[in-house]
Amino acid sequence: MSTLRPFHLAIPVDHLEKARVFYRDILQLEEGRSSDHWVDFNFFGHQLVIHYKEKSETDVHHNEVDGKAVPVPHFGVILGWKDFHAFAKAITPHITFVIEPYIRFEGLAGEQATLFFYDPCGNALEFKSFKDDNQIFAK
């Protein structure tokens, strides 16, 4: 496969300005182009676009993982180990976690740090880090 390229992800938000402030000021993402209905962000080298969409009634889905209710769908980024811990520390005063930062598979293959939270419009995000990046796709 060719060199990894940035991905593009567009998500719905029911309050463009609240979401813009959250991604720009809380998550510290660089804002790019925008219009009255959407805003681009540099999401750790990838393109995240928030698009205004009226709120609709949707089912909230969860899967049980480690005895925790993991929201589905969700999106996020795999950060470096030190970057994950710095990021978690920086956002903690501003975030209500769905799943607080914790370590999965501690001392085992695939050891990883993870956390979950919702943006102000109900989109679930997960940020994680592997102790050894060679374990990201390990079976």
Q: What was the pLDDT predicted at 59? A: 66
What integer is the mean pLDDT of 51-79?
Answer: 88
Q: How far apart are CA 110 and CA 63, in angstroms?
A: 19
Average pLDDT over residues 80-104: 97
**H or E element at residue 30:** strand 30-34
Q: Which residues, 6 or more positions from 121, have their beta carbon under 8 angstroms from its beta carbon?
A: 12, 13, 14, 15, 18, 19, 50, 55
- pLDDT at position 99 is 97
Mean pLDDT over residues 93-113, rounded? 94
Contacts of 38 (CB under 8 A, 6+ apart): 10, 16, 49, 50, 51, 52
Task: Give the domains, in start order, of the chain with CATH numbers.
Answer: 8-52 (3.10.180.10), 61-135 (3.10.180.10)
Could you report the per-residue pLDDT of 1-59, keeping only the tens digit for each?
A: 568 889 999 999 999 999 999 999 999 999 999 999 999 999 999 999 999 999 877 66
In this prediction, residue 66 carries a pLDDT of 87
| Mean pLDDT estimate for the chain | 93
